[in-house]
Amino acid sequence: MSSLLATIAIIVLLTVFSYFVVREENKLKSSSVVFLVMLMLFSSTLSTEWSRMTSELVEEAEDPHYGLPDIWDGKQVVCFHFSSESAPPGFNDGRHHIDSDGTDFKTDKNWNTTGACVGGFEGYNIGIDLLNAAVSVTGDNFVLNVTDYGELGLFVNSIGGINPCEQGPCGDNIWTSWKFLHNGVLSFSGISALTLDDDSVITFQIVTETW
């Protein structure tokens, strides 16, 4: 919303400026040309910001994109879910939606967890590449700490500084760790081996298991 208003303000200011700096007989023509040129230059930005502002959340519960902005339909998404007590700073007020350029444009305060979904990605084939892309555009908010076990794959120790064993029990017969779902189903493939769909949704959440 702020980006949209800023873009409109720039167009208006430049148009007004051009009106007052030219000779009287050319004022209307000059300002009209500047206005049209600015619209052409900023048309992509205006379209993107308008789409974000007017987007709605997908309501079909059986859709892997359920609860996500409809502008991400057909695109890839990574979600990080936390409890309100354990979310990274700034993400404990609901589930944030962050576009692939890093813009945080919508927060669902009614979602049953806090955290963020980072989406709008295209063309990723392997889970780890999509995950790294999502982490990258959010700066340090969801930085990963992982252990590489070679052929066994990667083990996620913490996300955004949140260690599962500090949020739940870890002992001989019980363990709390990060698990991830692919399109709403618990994945049995490691993140470094997961083959993605064009519209994959990967969700990381803390799970406690006993055995």
Helix (H) or strand (E) run with residue 39 in it: helix 27-54
Q: Which two tokens stand for residue 164?
A: 């599962």
pLDDT tens track, the chain, 211 positions:
455 555 555 545 545 544 455 445 544 555 555 545 555 655 566 567 778 888 999 999 999 999 999 999 999 999 999 987 888 889 999 999 999 999 999 999 999 999 999 999 999 999 999 999 999 999 889 999 999 988 888 889 999 999 999 988 988 899 999 999 999 999 988 899 999 999 999 999 998 889 7
Q: Are 45 and 3 in contact (CB under 8 A)?
A: yes
pTM to 2 decimals? Answer: 0.79
Q: Are 108 and 57 in contact (CB under 8 A)?
A: yes
How far apart are the C-alpha atoms of 148 and 135, rounded to whole Å? 18
**Angle between helix 27-54 and 2-21 (nearest 10):** 180
